[in-house]
Structure 1
Amino acid sequence: MRETYGTHASAGLREARRTLPCRPADARRTVRQAVADGCGARTVPCDDAALEDALLVTSELTTNAILHGGGITGFDVDVDPGAVSVTVCDRSDDVPVVHDPVDERGRSRLGGRGWPIVCRLARDVSVAGLPCGGKRITAVVPLG
């Protein structure tokens, strides 16, 4: 069984509609509920550490969309046995980049660690441009 939660315009009819998250906390709450629903139906393993990884990935993707992407324009969560897929869309065509944590003068930079965290915790990450501009980032995080 697959549980799907979505708020993007291209989301299918089978999805439960939610309000588009404006804050990372709203997105985390949606992911937590989707995983809890899957666990309640006993179709998804319930590993607390894996859920925390999925929530951290959700925070990073939504924060980056707000700070660097012009805001969240779409958000989807798919839960299937063994993984949660989090998709965040934003207005920017720019793909995420990794910055050196130290600048050219040897000083520590603020920020710049979110994308490496996403890439480390997810088993699959994809970035795709959207037809009307912007991008869609999907990260698949194992749940058990």
Structure 2
Amino acid sequence: MQKILRIVLVVATCLVIGYLSGVVTRESITTWYPTLIKPVFNPPNWIFAPVWTVLYIMIGVAGGMIWNRMETDEENVKKAFKFFMYQLGLNALWSYLFFGLHNPLLALIEIILLWLVIFETYTQFKKIDKVAGMLFVPYLAWVSFATVLNASIWWLNK
């Protein structure tokens, strides 16, 4: 039962981070964001909330799975979980930089750092639990796409 509770707690934490990021984003989606020139591959706005919800659930499950390995591999779990927490913080920061400050360049610099920390989290997780690592692959792919999108928006609007 404790293992399930850990997973639920980490998933809930990820969803709260996502919700708070959405609060920062919400106003700009209807005011500032529509004024930007966007590339042809820019997805419709409605796709972002469901994609992020699924991703937050997946990375939350992965984080909970890693936490559940604390008794058997404490040193590696602590290291991996630090990266997990860093990427969550950077994830939330990106929304603030892009949508809150309306600064695509600063957000682009930050999302590159975010991608690197996500990749390191994936690498650390995979060493401990291959399934937990694989749950990070869609997140890494989406942030790769978001990085290209962010760069394109910055370039088109500089």
The alignment's TM-score, normalised by the length of structure 1, stands at: 0.42
The structure where helix makes up a greater share of residues is: 2
Larger radius of gyration: 2
- RCO higher in structure (CA 8 A, sep ≥6): 2
The structure where strand makes up a greater share of residues is: 1
